[in-house]
Amino acid sequence: MKYLKHAIFLLAILIGMTGCKNENKNEINPAKESEKISNADLGLKYAMSTKAQLGKNLMGTIQSKGTEEAVIFCNVKAFPLTDSMAVVHKATIKRVSDKPRNSNNVASSKEIDHIEKFKKTLGSGQKLTPIIESLDNDSIQFYYPIITNKMCLQCHGEPNKDIKPAVLEKLTALYPADKAIGYSEDQVRGIWSITMKNQEN
């Protein structure tokens, strides 16, 4: 009987300890609450979520209507979709290139310098990391490369090899000054240029 009472007493203590742990698990850790996301991580989040939104719609158009219709989709919808993501993230989000298709995507001289840096980094096999510049105490400029993949080549590859004649005809009609062709896989086609709030003040 003595041992039974002792066992019940120990069991009660264990149950009490377990209850405390369950309550503490739901408490907010002050240290974690005060942690801030870095500018690099947040910039990547903005760039990749915008890329995902554009890619999802583009792939859907290619699969349902073909690459020619995807060219029209990009012509009409790419900027509004990018702008809508900029509103969501409360940032200015641009895709710019040294070989633009659309005149609205022309890179500035500073952006071209960054594109060249990313090309050298990629060519040397080093890891690609964002470039971040401080604009003032409240905002920063974030840059990250746009890398070609196999899907990109349907509209950005070599004419009559990767780009089918009908697609090339549509590109020429919509973008008579098009420079965004002749790429192969794993090349820097441009960069994300994002103006956003500084998270590290």
How do the domains of the chain map onto residue ranges? 39-197
CA triple 129-84-196, angle to 5 deg: 40
Q: Looking at beta carbons, which pairs linking 33-42 to residues 24 or more positions away fall under 8 Å?
A: 36/199, 36/200, 37/199, 38/199, 38/200, 39/132, 39/140, 39/142, 39/196, 39/198, 39/199, 39/200, 40/129, 40/130, 40/132, 40/142, 42/196, 42/199
Cβ neighbours of residue 84 closer than 8 Å, sequence gap 6 or more: 53
Q: Which pLDDT value is given to residue 33? A: 41
Express each pLDDT in 30-74 by its tens digit.
334 446 799 999 999 999 999 999 999 999 999 999 999 999 999
pLDDT exceeds 60 at position 9: no
| Mean pLDDT calculated for residue range 178-194 | 98
Q: Assign 46 to helix, strand or coil.
A: helix
pTM assigned to the model? 0.81
Express each pLDDT in 99-123 by its tens digit.
999 999 999 999 999 999 999 999 9
Burial of 199 (0-12, 13-18, 19+ CB in 10 A): middle
- Starting at the edge strand that comes first in sequence, how are the strands of the sheet with 188-197 ordered? 92-96, 188-197, 139-147, 131-134
**And the tokens for 172?**
């020429």
Phi/psi at 95 (5° precision): -115, 120
Rg of the chain on CA atoms, in Å: 26
